[in-house]
Structures are given as structure tokens and as C-alpha cells.
Amino acid sequence: MIRFILLRLAGLVFVLLVLSMITFTLMHGIPGGPWKEGERPMSEEQLQAMRARYGLDKPLWQQYTTWLSGVARLDLGDSFDRPDETVLQLIGRTWPVTLQLGAMTILLAFGVGIPLGIIAALRQNTWVDYGATLISILGYVTPHFVWGIFFILVFSLRLKWFPTGGWDGPRYWVLPVVAYALGPIAIIARYTRTSVIDAIRADYVRTARAKGLSERAVVFRHVLRNALLPMLTVFGPLIPDLITGSIFIEAIFRIPGLGSYWVTSTFERDYPMIIGLTMLWAVLIAVTYLLTDILYVFADPRVRVR
């Protein structure tokens, strides 16, 4: 297991290195650049001075090696758009809010989606199954921002149960978390239902029932454990997507998180922020897949690392 983890970590470093090269090349290849937009017009002399200040007057390979040496020292550089903050400081200031939003969304999505999928599978082709399927489809096909606007119109403006936006306490968390979680709930419920149905139809479940085991014992000892493996494959990638934030949810509910910087840094050609946020997302994805592979061994004894 240790050798497997070390090899995967080495592969992870290689993938991140290649991704950083691609991102670095593409973001510098986009037409335009920092300080050239109409909102911040600069003379040619000022522009050259700013380029020299941030090292943009050097060859691309030299800019990349300078950035890479900074990463080795845990320095992602200074934000072009917010020169009073480094990229790490900005991430450290805004990501905790996004992380809190994502963590609550994950708890709600898994806490509702998994039981909903199990109940639908155990009551297959009944009104319970059809109702769970309808809820899942509705949550899946409706975008986050539509739910967010709908919740504000109904529960904030009309019923006045919750505030329209902000992040100052539990009353402010309810609407964005629910709006953000409806899509993942639908995905989790559908895949859980499919995995549980496949497990229920297996021969070992019929054998367990023939031995006289109670339905509860059959479900918890045999069905759910064997249905867990395909569920891990699907659910793992959902987690980094949720904890990196939703641009629309944070914008609609005026949440001071990291999500809005994904778009603004691109429009503003804020190169350090672009590559910093991209690498943050990539690390989360890669680590999640690594943890998923490790969990396979514990979820199913038949899986062994070789």
C-alpha cells in the first residue's frame, strides 16, 4: 500500500507539472493582457514599467521557471488586480467561506441523496421510486442559479423567511446550501439507486435471503457494501467541485468566497490568480482520486493493490 501511494504521488507531481506548463502557456497566449483594458488605460511607458515589475518582459520559459521556484517556496506570486495581496493571502481569505459552503453542501447532498437512492432501489417500480426519480430529474436538469433565484423570490422576498444574501449566520446559509446541493443530491440518488439495484440482483443476495437472514441484515451486510465500490467512483469527483465553489451561487447570494475570482481573474488577465486557482482545483481533484483508490481496498476486500 505504501509503495502504491508513493507511486501515485510521484505521478501526481508529474501531472501537476504538465498541467502548470499547459496553463501557463495558454493564459499567456490569450490576446490582450493585464493593464490594457479600457477601465485601466496606461501609457506605453507605464505599461512597460508594470511588465518589468512583474517579470512579464522576460521570455516565457524564464517566467515559468521563476514561478515554479516560487511554488517550491509556497509563493504563488502577487495578484495583478489586487497588488496589496498575494495569491495565497487572497485564497486564504476567501476560500474558508467557500469551503464552509462546500462542506455543508456535501453533508446535505450525501445525507439526502444516498438514503433517497436506497429507498428508491428497495421500493423499485412503486410510487416511492417514481417520486424519488422525479425529484432527482428535477434537481439534475435545473441549474444552480435557477434554484437560487427561485428561492430568493419565494422564501426571501415573498415569505421573508430568510435574507436575500450574505454570509453572517445560519439564516444566511440555508438558501445557498440547499440551492447548491440539489444538483448533487440528484446525481448521488440516481447512482445510488442503480448500484443498489445491481447488488440486489446478485446471486450472493439471493443466497443470503435463502439462509433466512432478515431483510435489514441483507441490505446492510451484503447489498450496501457491494454497492459502495461503483458509488465511490462517481461520488469522489463531486467533492472537489463542491469545495472549490459555485460562481453563480456565490454571486446570487453575495457570498464573499473564492468562486467569483475564477471568472474575474480570467477577464482581468490576472495570471498569478489564474494559475493559482487552476492548480488548487487540480490538486483537489488528484488527491480525491488517490483517496478514492485507497478507499476501494477498505470498501471491498477483493480489491488488492499490487
Residue 202: the pLDDT is: 72
Going 175 to 176 to 179 to 183, the CA torsion angle's sign is: negative
C-beta atoms surrounding 243 within 10 Å: 20
Q: Is 150 helix (H, G, I), strand (E, B) or coil?
A: helix
C-beta atoms surrounding 237 within 10 Å: 14
DSSP per position, 240-297? HHHHT--HHHHHHTT--SSHHHHHHHHHTT-HHHHHHHHHHHHHHHHHHHHHHHHHHH
- How far CA 165 is from CA of 33, 115, 169, 258, in Å, comes to 33, 30, 11, 16
Nearest by Cα to 179 from 238, 116, 250, 281: 250
Supply the Cα-derived Rg of the chain in whole angstroms. Answer: 24
Is the pTM of the predicted complex or chain greater than 0.85? Answer: no
Domain definitions of the chain by residue range: 94-260
Residue 254: the pLDDT is: 83
Residue 298: the pLDDT is: 65
Residue 146: the pLDDT is: 86
Residue 301: the pLDDT is: 58
Residue 40: the pLDDT is: 55
* Distance between CA atoms of residues 118 and 186, nearest Å: 13
Phi, psi of 123 (to 5 degrees): -115, 45
Residue 244 · residue 102 · CB < 8 Å: yes
C-beta atoms surrounding 274 within 10 Å: 23
Residue 38: the pLDDT is: 47
The class level of CATH for 94-260 reads mainly alpha
Residue 59: the pLDDT is: 80
Nearest by Cα to 299 from 237, 229, 222: 229
* Distance between CA atoms of residues 271 and 77, nearest Å: 9
Residue 101 · residue 176 · CB < 8 Å: yes
Q: List per-block mean pLDDT (blocks of 10 residues) for the chain, which spans 306 residues.
A: 76 85 81 60 69 75 83 80 80 84 86 85 80 80 84 88 85 89 85 79 73 71 69 71 74 80 75 83 81 69 56
Residue 176 · residue 100 · CB < 8 Å: no
- How far CA 146 is from CA of 140, 141, 163, 252, 279, in Å, comes to 12, 10, 17, 10, 29
- Cα 124 from chain centroid (whole Å): 31
